[in-house]
Amino acid sequence: MAERAQIVIIGGGIMGLSIAYNLAKNHGIKDVVVLEKSYLCSGASGRNGGGVRAQFGSESNVRLMQESLRLCREFAAEMKINVWFREGGYLFLTRSAEGQASLEASVAVQNECGHPTEMWSPAEAKKLVPELDLDGVVAASYNPNDAVVFPWPFVWGYARGAQSHGVRVRTFTRVIGFETRGKAITKVVTDHGAIETSRVVNAAGAWSPQVAAMLGVELPNKPHRHEICSSEPLKPWLTPLVADLSNGLYFSQSTRGEIVGGISNHDVPEGIDMESSSKFLGLYAKALTRTVPLLGAVKVLRQWAGCYDLTPDQNPIVGQVDEVEEFYQASGFMGHGFMMAPVMGKLLAQHIAEGTELPLFSRWSLRRFKEGRLLREHMIIG
């Protein structure tokens, strides 16, 4: 274990590794240690559906994801690793007049940002995916530039890229405490020894509140189990990722042919729980076969779960906190941390290395909850 580091990043998921990679590559800060309590891809970064989209309802999220999509397109060439980037688009469905109005407002924002999304009738949606049963669907939106990737190579690529620039990635290393002097951090204490440092990034996802609590910082994030299912492989037939905003159903087809998807399930245990449930499978199967009846005969291969990292206003917590000096947050990304990590790693590395103040980070600061400046993002799946 290194005894000293300029920066310690807690969390070896895609967010922490992206920050580390950008610090080393773009800013020359190579004396960085990334601590992961388990193996790489053990958390949400290795358990998500791999969707990458800019169809959001707020301008800040749309513009962020436009840049993140660009970085994702270039990732394989930069890191020399195949991520199976598939630009098949996202097709959103809605089943109510209220949902249609909300979708129309979001599409207007996306087009103002130069992300060419179209509002479609159910008939137009069925032309793209003839297998859909759109009974009850009142409107849809489609953007061909949204995409799906295979998550694991993104994590491995950032880890290998960061290490090639001198970053030390320590797996199976659990943070158990901190040493401080006044408001300053002096050491990160792990189960393998202590690391002297004055700068810490909390990128532990659903575990971030536990990390922050060791320093007396209260984060309002709540973990929420989200389950995913994968079918036997089928011949290619589905181009976009399809998402139903009325119930949180989403599904896409992988490069190997599996139908991979999930659905909202609000009746889950509190706290961190990555067990699978039969209730999810029932909810998912009912909604999926309602939308694509032909999939009723398809066999399920496997089912798994990970944790969303939820905040009260469905927006992340990013940047420094008031209680502790140089304790940076990068959590609360709902189910979108994976797709936002390429651009957030770039921006957070700039903020940490150069002290650059970004208006976005002021909006997403922890302070907003005390000040009542809550935000909203309604284009949330699951």
Alpha helices in 80-165, H assignment, sequence order: 97-112, 122-128, 151-164
Same fold, 7-46+152-221+313-371 and 85-148+222-310: no
Cα torsion angle, 306, 50, 9, 203, sign: negative
Instruction: Note the pLDDT of residue 132.
Output: 97
Q: Is 114 left (phi over 0), alpha (psi -120 to 50) or beta?
A: left
Per-residue pLDDT of the chain (382 residues; tens, 9 = 90+): 568 999 999 999 999 999 999 999 999 999 999 999 999 999 999 999 999 999 999 998 999 999 999 999 999 999 999 999 999 999 999 999 999 999 999 999 999 999 999 999 999 999 999 999 999 999 999 999 999 999 999 999 999 999 999 999 999 999 999 999 999 999 999 999 999 999 999 999 999 999 999 999 999 999 999 999 999 999 999 999 999 999 999 999 999 999 999 998 888 888 898 999 999 999 999 999 999 999 999 999 999 999 999 999 889 999 999 999 999 999 999 888 999 999 999 999 999 999 888 888 888 999 999 998 888 777 777 6
What is the domain partition of the chain in residue ranges?
7-46+152-221+313-371, 85-148+222-310
- Fill in the amino acid letter for 376: R
- Fill in the amino acid letter for 144: P
Which helix (H) or strand (E) segment holds residue 358: the answer is none
141, 85 contact by CB (below 8 A): no
Question: Which residues are CB-neighbours of 156 under 8 A, at least 6 positions away?
Answer: 40, 41, 81
pTM, to two decimals: 0.95
Integer Cα distance of 63 and 68 in angstroms: 9
306, 355 contact by CB (below 8 A): no
Q: Is CATH 3.50.50.60 what the domain over 7-46+152-221+313-371 is classified as, yes or no?
A: yes
Q: Which residues pair with 243 in a beta bridge?
A: 92, 250
> If DSSP codes are grouped into helix, strand and coil, which group holds residue 236?
coil
Q: Which residues pair with 185 in a beta bridge?
A: 180
Which architecture does CATH list for 85-148+222-310? 2-Layer Sandwich (3.30)
257, 236 contact by CB (below 8 A): yes
Integer Cα distance of 335 and 23 in angstroms: 24
Instruction: Note the pLDDT of residue 2.
Output: 60
75, 228 contact by CB (below 8 A): no
Burial of 230 (0-12, 13-18, 19+ CB in 10 A): middle
Instruction: Note the pLDDT of residue 382.
Output: 61
| DSSP symbols for 337-351 | HHHHHHHHHHHHHHH
Give Cα separations from 81 to 99, 148, 151, 153, 291 (angstroms).
39, 16, 12, 7, 35
Nearest to 285 by CA among 265, 268, 306, 262: 262
185, 198 contact by CB (below 8 A): yes
Please give the DSSP secondary-structure letter assigned to residue 86: B
| DSSP symbols for 237-269 | ---SEEEETTTTEEEEE-TTS-EEEE-------
Instruction: Note the pLDDT of residue 379.
Output: 73
Instruction: Note the pLDDT of residue 157.
Output: 97
